[in-house]
Structure 1
Amino acid sequence: NVLPLNDYQLKNVFYIQETGLLYQMLPHKTFAFKGETCSVGKLSKERITVVVGTNMDGSEKLPLLVIGKHKNPHSFKDVKSLPVDYEANDMAWMTSEVFEQWMHKLDDRFQAQQRQVIFLIESLPAHTEVKNLTSVKLVFTPPDSSSCIARKQGIIRSLKIKYRSCLIKRFVDCVEGNQEYMLTLLDAIEMLHLCWRNITPETIVKSYSE
Structure 2
Amino acid sequence: MVRRPSSYTRLTLSQKHKLCAKAAAVVAWNPSDLTTWTTREFKTATPVGRSTVRGILKRKHEFDEVPETQLNQKRRFSAVFINEYKDWRGNGTVTGARVLSLAKITDGVREGTCRGWLYKFQQHTGLWFSLRHGESGSLDEAIVTSGRQELKKVVGQYHSRDVYIMDETSFFYRCELRGTLTTGKGEKGKKQSKVSVTVCVGSNADGSDRLPLHFIGKSIVPRPLKDRNVFAELGVTYTRSAKAWMTTTKFCEWLLDINATMKEQERNILLLVDNVSSHNDSSLVLSKVRVHKLPPNTTAALQPMDQGIIKSLKDMYQDKKGDAELKKFINGEKYEPVDLYNAMKWCAGGWKSVSDETIRNCWCHTGFISMMDVRYLLN
Identify the TM-score tier after normalising by the shorter chain. Answer: 0.7 to 0.9
**1:193 partnered with 2:348:** yes
The within-5 A match list for 1:29-178 is: 29-30=179-180, 43-82=192-231, 83-130=235-282, 131-142=284-295, 144-145=297-298, 146-149=300-303, 151-176=305-330, 177=332
CA distance in structure 1 between the aligned counterparts of 2:279 and 2:293, rounded to whole angstroms: 8
- Say which one has the larger Rg: 2
- Deviation of 1:111 after TM superposition, in Å, equals 1.2
CA distance in structure 1 between the aligned counterparts of 2:304 and 2:159, rounded to whole angstroms: 22
Determine the structure 2 residue equivalent to 1:38: none
CA distance in structure 1 between the aligned counterparts of 2:228 and 2:264, rounded to whole angstroms: 27
Indicate if the aligned counterparts of 1:16 and 1:52 stay in contact, CA closer than 8 A: yes
Q: % of aligned pairs identical? A: 28
Classify the secondary structure of the residue corresponding to 1:61: coil
Q: Return closer, same or farther for 1:9/1:149 CA change in 2, 3 Å cut-off.
A: closer
- Deviation of 1:78 after TM superposition, in Å, equals 2.2
Deviations 1:89-117 (A, max 9, x none): 22110111100000011001101111110
Indicate if the aligned counterparts of 2:201 and 2:213 stay in contact, CA closer than 8 A: yes
CA distance in structure 1 between the aligned counterparts of 2:154 and 2:303, rounded to whole angstroms: 23
CA distance in structure 1 between the aligned counterparts of 2:333 and 2:353, rounded to whole angstroms: 29
Equivalent residues, number:
202
Stretches of structure 2 that go unaligned for 5 or more consecutive residues are: 1-152, 185-189, 366-379
- Deviation of 1:153 after TM superposition, in Å, equals 3.0
Q: Return closer, same or farther for 1:143/1:167 CA change in 2, 3 Å cut-off.
A: farther
Q: What TM-score, normalized by structure 2, do the two folds share?
A: 0.50
Indicate if the aligned counterparts of 2:167 and 2:274 stay in contact, CA closer than 8 A: yes
Classify the secondary structure of the residue corresponding to 1:7: coil
Indicate if the aligned counterparts of 1:63 and 1:84 stay in contact, CA closer than 8 A: yes
Q: Return closer, same or farther for 1:44/1:115 CA change in 2, 3 Å cut-off.
A: same
Determine the structure 2 residue equivalent to 1:24: 174
Q: Segments of 4+ in structure 1 off by > 4 A?
A: 30-34
CA distance in structure 2 between the aligned counterparts of 1:187 and 1:105, rounded to whole angstroms: 24
Determine the structure 1 residue equivalent to 2:112: none
Moved more, 157-166 or 169-178: 169-178
CA distance in structure 1 between the aligned counterparts of 2:273 and 2:156, rounded to whole angstroms: 17
Indicate if the aligned counterparts of 2:164 and 2:271 stay in contact, CA closer than 8 A: yes
Indicate if the aligned counterparts of 2:166 and 2:305 stay in contact, CA closer than 8 A: no
Determine the structure 1 residue equivalent to 2:164: 14
Moved more, 5-14 or 97-106: 5-14
Amino acid at match of 1:112: E
Moved more, 154-163 or 43-52: 43-52
Larger RCO of the pair (alpha carbons < 8 Å, separation 6+): 1
Root mean square deviation of aligned Cα: 2.4
CA distance in structure 1 between the aligned counterparts of 2:250 and 2:183, rounded to whole angstroms: 40
Deviations 1:113-145 (A, max 9, x none): 111100011101211124211100000013642
Amino acid at match of 2:260: D
Q: Return closer, same or farther for 1:79/1:178 CA change in 2, 3 Å cut-off.
A: closer
Stretches of structure 1 that go unaligned for 5 or more consecutive residues are: 35-40
Deviations 1:22-63 (A, max 9, x none): 1111113359699xxxxxx98431111111111111111011
Q: Return closer, same or farther for 1:48/1:31 CA change in 2, 3 Å cut-off.
A: farther
Higher strand share: 1
Q: What TM-score, normalized by structure 1, do the two folds share?
A: 0.87
